[in-house]
Amino acid sequence: MGKNFYNLEETEFKETIDKLKSLPKVDAPDNFEYNLMVKINNKNFELKTEKKKISFLWKILPAPAVVAAAVLAFFFIPEQTIENSSLLQFSPLQVIDSAKQAELTSQSAVVDFGNDKNKSSFEETNINTEQKNTVNNKIKVQPNDVVVKEKTAIPFDPSKQVDIDKFINGKAVNSSPASPANLVSGGEKSSNFEGFIIKNKDERDSLLKNKSKEDSLSAKSNKKGVK
Amino acid sequence: MNKNLSSLKDEELIKEFQDNNTIEAYEILVKRYKDPLMNFVYRFLGDKDICTDVVQDTMIKFYLNKDSYKSFAKFSTWIYTIAGNLAKNELKRRKRRSFLSLHTDEDEAPVQIEDKTFVAPDRYTDGEIKNKMIQKALLKVKPVYREVVILRDIEAFSYEEIADITGLSIGTVKSRINRGRTQLQKLLKNIYKE
């Protein structure tokens, strides 16, 4: 119970200081040392106050983690894997070797040849035009590790193609006079209306004339070559 | 051996602990400082359970980082610095938690069960009520002022020692103590009137 001595500046707060000094002392719990020594002996040096900090971080971590995962999924997962994710949505690709396909087409051509000469020539030309319109330019590895050459169509409308030989032989039929391409190729395939055009009635005659000219020129050149 | 150690000063004990890893020296220092640190941290935080954790952590930090103590400093200021920093961290964490929490304090209030040890307010002594009010007022003082006021007026450290503990200049310590006392005086006015 010693006397309190105050500085000059402290005399102003004498009462407050006395009140603070009169506060009862708070002691540590009885098991304080025991608990501490148990922690030290067990090498359990995890600080309780810092542990709470970590648990708090864990509480707020899931939200940004979900956002980050969504962003990564949006930007980094390629489109192809999304397309292939559900196999039921797509019809299975036919696994046919290009060589085998060529063999099949040639076989059909040979069979048809014996029956009707004209027919076979017509089908041959069909096959040829189909083959011309497709090109084996894409190699694709399927999920079951089978390598397939995919045929991609050349972007030419077959209805707009003209087979002069067929036309001259009289096999083409004018079914749709709207399209000049149909006019020539026989109108077997529908095509879009392309506007009104002036028809040339003498087209067949002029083509025959040109054809005969071409033939005579080629005959002359062949003769010269022989000589 | 233990009797000899008990008679040693704090600085001699920590040196013994540093040099020979004598656990008895550590135990004696824990015994000497557990209560003063408890009192300091309790007055600063106002929660006994958290205060016990903070002082336990202080002692663990002391055990693990004994070599970071340099002999030119006083042991008391060194251990109070550790305790003060942990208490301030805890206070910041509690503030952050209360700020981010979606629940109000009313929601977090515990379920009320009859407390048979409860003493009616009229049975409280005048001194006990006043002590509670002083502690409540102390917790309303800004933490930067509260820390130095507790160190000066409750723990009775000198201005120099407080400057060592807080890492502030003596001038700053004095002005902070002055401001803290002024705030506290205003808050305690009602008690004086009674």
pLDDT of residue A101: 63
pLDDT greater than 80 at residue B131? yes
Query: pLDDT grade, residue A114 (50/70/90)?
Result: very low
What pTM was estimated for this model as a whole?
A: 0.55
Query: pLDDT grade, residue B33 (50/70/90)?
Result: very high
Taking contacts as CB-CB distances below 8 angstroms, the residues of chain B near A22 are 131
pLDDT of residue B106: 47
Highest mean pLDDT among A66-75, A87-96, A153-162, B77-86: B77-86
Chain B residue closest in CA terms to A53 = B93
Distance from B16 to chain A by nearest Cα, in Å?
18
pLDDT of residue A162: 66
pLDDT greater than 80 at residue B193? no
Mean pLDDT of chain B: 86
| B89: nearest CB among A25, A37, A49 | A49
Inter-chain residue contact B52 with A28, CB threshold 8 Å: yes
Taking contacts as CB-CB distances below 8 angstroms, the residues of chain B near A39 are 56, 60
pLDDT greater than 50 at residue A1? no
Taking contacts as CB-CB distances below 8 angstroms, the residues of chain A near B54 are 49
| Percentage helix, strand, coil for chain B under 3-state DSSP, each rounded to 5 | 80, 0, 20
pLDDT of residue B89: 93
Q: What is the mean pLDDT of residues B158-180?
A: 95
Q: Is A148 helix (H, G, I), strand (E, B) or coil?
A: strand
Inter-chain residue contact A27 with B35, CB threshold 8 Å: yes
| A27: nearest CB among B30, B38, B54 | B38
pLDDT of residue B57: 94
| A16: nearest CB among B37, B57, B188 | B188
pLDDT of residue B99: 67
Amino acid found at A33: E
Q: What is the mean pLDDT of residues A94-123?
A: 54
CB A150, CB A138: distance < 8 Å:
yes
Q: What is the mean pLDDT of residues B148-171?
A: 95
pLDDT of residue B185: 92
CB B52, CB A32: distance < 8 Å:
yes
pLDDT greater than 80 at residue A96? no
pLDDT greater than 60 at residue A123? no
Q: What is the mean pLDDT of residues A213-222?
A: 80
| B184: nearest CB among A16, A50, A52 | A16
Query: pLDDT grade, residue A62 (50/70/90)?
Result: confident
Q: How far apart are CA B8 and CA B13, in angstroms?
A: 6
pLDDT of residue B32: 96
- pLDDT per residue over A21-56, tens digit each? 999 999 999 999 999 999 999 888 877 766 555 566
Residues 6+ apart with CB under 8 A from B142: B180, B183
pLDDT of residue A11: 82
pLDDT of residue A217: 81
pLDDT of residue A2: 46
What token pair was written down for B171?
């001038």
> Assign residue A47 a region: left if phi > 0, alpha if psi is -120 to 50, beta otherwise?
beta
Share of residues in chain A with pLDDT > 70 (%): 42
pLDDT greater than 70 at residue A133? no
pLDDT greater than 50 at residue B64? yes
Q: What is the mean pLDDT of residues A127-143?
A: 59
pLDDT of residue B114: 54
Q: What is the mean pLDDT of residues B75-94?
A: 94
Inter-chain residue contact B34 with A35, CB threshold 8 Å: no
Chain A residue closest in CA terms to B54 = A49
**Domains in chain B, start-ordered, CATH in brackets?**
1-105 (1.10.1740.10), 120-194 (1.10.10.10)
CB B77, CB B155: distance < 8 Å:
no
- For residue A31, the Cα-to-chain-centroid distance in whole angstroms is 69
